[in-house]
Structure formats: structure tokens, C-alpha cells
Amino acid sequence: MTKLTYTRDELLADHHYAQLQLESGYRLHGGFDAAGNYISPRTLNRWPAVEAWQGELRRRGAAVIDASTRLLKRGPYPTVEQQKFLLSRGFGETLWNSLTITGVIEARGGMLAQAIAPDFQSIVVEDISATCLGHLNKGLLAAHGYDEGGTKDKGIGGHDDMWFAVRDALFGRNAFPLPEVPASIARPETGRRMPQIPKEFEEWILLLMNVLMIEVKAESFFSFCQGIMRDPANFTDRRPAADHAADLVERIRTDEAIHVAYLATVISELRSFTIKTADDQHVSGAEIIDPVWNQMIEWHAVTNANFARTQSRDAILARLRNKPNGAALASTFDSLELQQAAE
């Protein structure tokens, strides 16, 4: 019989590691088996659990929503070729800033370890005790938070320190001044999106949707980083370090897959359930979830992507134009994006 209920300790359980993960002076989570293969933290039971919950969804005739990069309408900016151009001209600050900001934002994700979701059973007609949704407060949120921000009380870093280790391998810890970090990369909310349910539940569903789309965009960033780091034309003075940095990114990528999986499962379960509304009506979860999820995709994939591109382009062009041949550099930089779009 498929196991569908887990304790907090089970969902936080680690595999046995033959070797711990130590990088650039950081003690990091996860580890390696006897053959040297990387194993993500807290996935001994988390992966089997999520796979079982997804299987149960499909058994009930419900689909798991698409949470792949197919949702994205824009690629990373600058493009791989533009970033390569910047590195070849000595402008590594753009990439250094991106890696630093990513590490800081990952650290903020550590707040999930202390977060407590409301009791969704109070607005769902069906029993959720054997579902992903029903396990948010039984280890899933805590595991996600620890993955992102580490367990600092134990001296173990998470994705925050892993990104700093990647940055340090490529450039050094203090290569450039610390960049300004956005206050938030989630969609700002200016009014009710799901007035059928209490505001507390709406806020939590929006949080989970925002985090899921951020994770989807992260997958695109992983590919971008690895393409830059593994290109032999880049970081020619530290090729072994750059290749290793790409390996570190792959470990983060491996870790993040479980986040996408469980969040997609939670949203899929919500849309498959019957929801009790504030006026005591029973409605299909899809009726409430789908319009808001589609809006969330559009904001992250198009609206915010366009805004972020404009901000990034303005900052990069300002740096390029400060050089004696700045106008030519700026023109070449822009032409590389147009060239890629035409291919």
C-alpha cells in the first residue's frame, strides 16, 4: 500500500552521507554517497512522498500543473552571448551582482522554516490529511526553508551560501561592491484576487504561487549560469574553478527540483478539491485557482521579466558608456541580443 502520511521527522530525514559538502570555506547541506554522487538534503522521504501524492492526484483523474520553463516567455537577461561579451571586456560585475543577489534572496527563503500555514482543511471539503497540502506544516515548509537558508544554528549553509561559493570561485568574495538587492521579487498585490475565501488563505496561496514561479525562473537561470561557466572562452585564468562552479550550480538545481514538485502538487491539489467559500457555498477549486495562477504566470513570465530587463540593460549600458569607447561597446552589446533573437 502506498504511504501517503508522514511525520515531520520523516519529511526532514537525510540520507546517509559518506562525505559532507564543504566548499570555499562554507559547510553546506547535503553530501555525497560512497561513489561521490551528490545527494540533496532532506530527500530520503520527501521525494517518495511527493511522488506518491502526485500519483494519488492522477488516480483521482486530476492533473499536475505544468511548472516547467515552458511557462516562461523571456530568457535570462543579459543573454549568454551578451554576458560572454561583458566578461571578455572585463565587465564581470553584472554576473557577480546576479550571483550575490541570488544568494541574498535565497537566504530570505529561510523564513519558510518558521512559517505556519493556516489550516486548509477548514476551507476544503475533502479530507487533506494524506495530501501534500496537508503536510505543509508537517515538514514541507520547514525543509524548503532549511534548503534555502541553511541551518545556521548547526553551522550549515543552504543555497544562500552555495551561491556565494559559486560567486567566490569565479571572482573572489570581495571582487565588487555589494549590489542593491530588490526588496521583493514576488508580484505585488494591490487588492483581493480570491474574494471567495478568507484573506489569510488567499495570501498563502499567492505566496506559494509566487515561490513556485520564482523556482521556475530559477531553472532558466541555472542553464544560463552553467552555459557561461562551462564555456572554455570564459574565465580562462581559472578554468578549473569555473567548471567546479558549474558543478555547484548543478547541485543547487538538483536540490530545487523537489521545491518545484511539491509546490506544483499543492496548487494542483487545491484546484482539484471542492472549496468552501466565505458565504458557505461549495465551488470547484479550479474555478478559484486557475484565473489567479494564469495571472501569476503572466506577471512573472512577461510583465516583471520586461521590467527587470529594462533595469538591467540601463545599468549595464551606463557602465559600458563610461569607457572611452563606450558608445561602440553599448552598440555591440545591444546587437548581440538582436542577433540571438533573429537566430
Residues in a beta bridge with 274 = 284
pLDDT computed for residue 343 by the predictor = 54
Instruction: Give whole-number Cα distances, 307 to 110, 185, 270, 311, in Å.
Output: 26, 11, 31, 6
pLDDT computed for residue 98 by the predictor = 93
Instruction: Give whole-number Cα distances, 22 to 26, 29, 86, 116, 323, in Å.
Output: 6, 9, 30, 31, 40
Cα(115)–Cα(317) distance, integer angstroms: 40
Nearest to 25 by CA among 176, 155, 178: 155
pLDDT digits (tens, 9 = 90+) for 48-79: 999 999 999 999 999 999 999 999 999 899 99
pLDDT digits (tens, 9 = 90+) for 274-320: 999 988 899 999 999 999 999 999 999 999 999 999 999 999 999 99
Nearest to 47 by CA among 15, 92, 94: 15
Residues in a beta bridge with 124 = 275
pLDDT digits (tens, 9 = 90+) for 101-135: 999 999 999 999 999 999 999 999 999 999 999 99
- Please give the single-letter amino acid code of residue 159: H
pLDDT digits (tens, 9 = 90+) for 240-271: 999 999 999 999 999 999 999 999 999 999 99
Count the Cβ atoms, other than its own, within 10 Å of residue 197.
18
Prediction pTM value: 0.94
- Alpha-helical runs (H) found in 184-303: 199-229, 239-272, 285-298
Q: How does strand 38-39 pair with strand 26-32? A: antiparallel
